[in-house]
Amino acid sequence: MQKQTKTKRFLLSGLKGIALGIAAAIPGLSAGSIAVILHCYQILVDAMASFRKAFKKSFLTLLPYFLGLILGAVAALVGIKKGYEVAPFTLTGFFAGCVFGSLPVACSELRKGKDGKEKLAHILSGVLCFAVAAALGIVTALTEVNFSDAMGNRVWWMYPMMLLAGFVAAFTCVVPGISGSMSLMVLGVYYPILHTFIGRSGISIWASGVGGGYVATGIVYALLLVVGALFGLWAASHLMKNLLAKHRVTTFYGILGLLLGSLVSMFINSSIYPQYRGVWDESTSSWAIKPIATWDYVVGAVLFVLAAGFTFWWVRKTNQKAKTEEQAELQQEDSEKTEGD
């Protein structure tokens, strides 16, 4: 009976991990927020915090979540890749809707701002962050940087770019309300990374040209992403802790600016920009990249509205739940103090 209970608990944790993996793969969704809704956020945080002190217990706790997360992320990424090939604007509209719906995370903190010089600092923070996030996508689009070709041809600057991509993705995961995969889309490397590692018949970079060193290149790319991600988590945890403690409202104005700027970059970046006008191949007299179809624009606009509405509801529900739990804890502490007196 006890063994059956453990098995059920393992499977349930694995299913929750699948949900976390899907959320992590979708730009605009936060895996951390999903963990709160699934009642496993505190479990995961405690297990990771005590990993060194209680290795075996923490490992067994995290294992089903980790396996589920990998399975969910791979399944979602394969689906996203195939979907983007058929309907790029539809997927972009859905992802952008998820981002737009998450704006209450930042807006809820803005009312705490003061007037005068401090208010000016808030506005400057928001404007600067908006400009940076929007410029990232626009610059890659206008300069027509082809990250997919650069990765396939093993251009030297793609190696530090992988470090930067891993760093930014992990760093933004720590920022409240911002998705790590969304930041990769803003940089313009989300789909190139996806196409490089997940081809039509599996992991393309491992299967292509073994003699040409593509396997080694794939391993190096993957390791650089991991190293960048680890450094990003370390840097973000320290920076965000200090910023939220000393400049909380200013920081959330910056987060709002990043979210709004990312909406611009999600629709104007090196991955989707060529598809607005299409790319004609003179040598073959055919479309190398077909222009986006009218139905794709329509479905993308509809999904933007639906995703924004759902994410807005989900974020508000999560925030209300967190406030309720916080109030319950405070009431419990007050009652304990009263009983002690």
CB 138 within 8 A of CB 268: yes
Residue 208 has pLDDT above 60, yes or no: no
Rg of the chain over all Cα atoms, to the nearest angstrom:
22
Task: In whole angstroms, give the CA distance from residue 21 to residue 68.
Answer: 7
What is the rounded distance in angstroms from the CA atom of residue 66 to the CA atom of residue 330? Answer: 33
Q: Could you read off the pLDDT of 248-303 as tens digits, one per residue? A: 788 888 888 888 888 888 888 777 888 888 877 777 778 777 889 999 999 999 99
End-to-end CA distance of the chain: 45
How is residue 247 written in tokens? 């400049």
The tokens for 307 are 């995703």
What pLDDT, on a 0 to 100 scale, did the predictor assign at position 210? 38
The C-alpha angle with vertex 43 and arms to 38 and 46, in degrees rounded to 5, equals 150
DSSP state of 155: -
Q: Please check whether residue 123 is in contact with residue 252, taking contact to mean a CB–CB distance below 8 angstroms.
A: no
Q: With cut-offs at 50, 70 and 90, classify the pLDDT of residue 219.
A: confident
Beta strands 279-281 and 286-289: pairing type?
antiparallel
CA atoms of 88 and 293, how far apart (whole Å): 10
Tokens of 172: 């933004």
Angle, CA 19 vertex, CA 67 and CA 78 arms, to 5°: 75
Torsion of CA 303, 305, 306, 310, to 10 degrees: 130
CB contact at 8 A, 192 and 148:
yes
321: its two tokens: 């739940």
The structure tokens listed for 122 are 């808030």
Question: Cα–Cα distance between 260 and 248 in angstroms, integer?
Answer: 19
- The residues that bridge with 279 in the sheet, in sequence order, are 289
Mind listing the pLDDT tens digit for each residue in 292-330?
Answer: 999 999 999 999 999 999 888 877 777 676 667 667 766
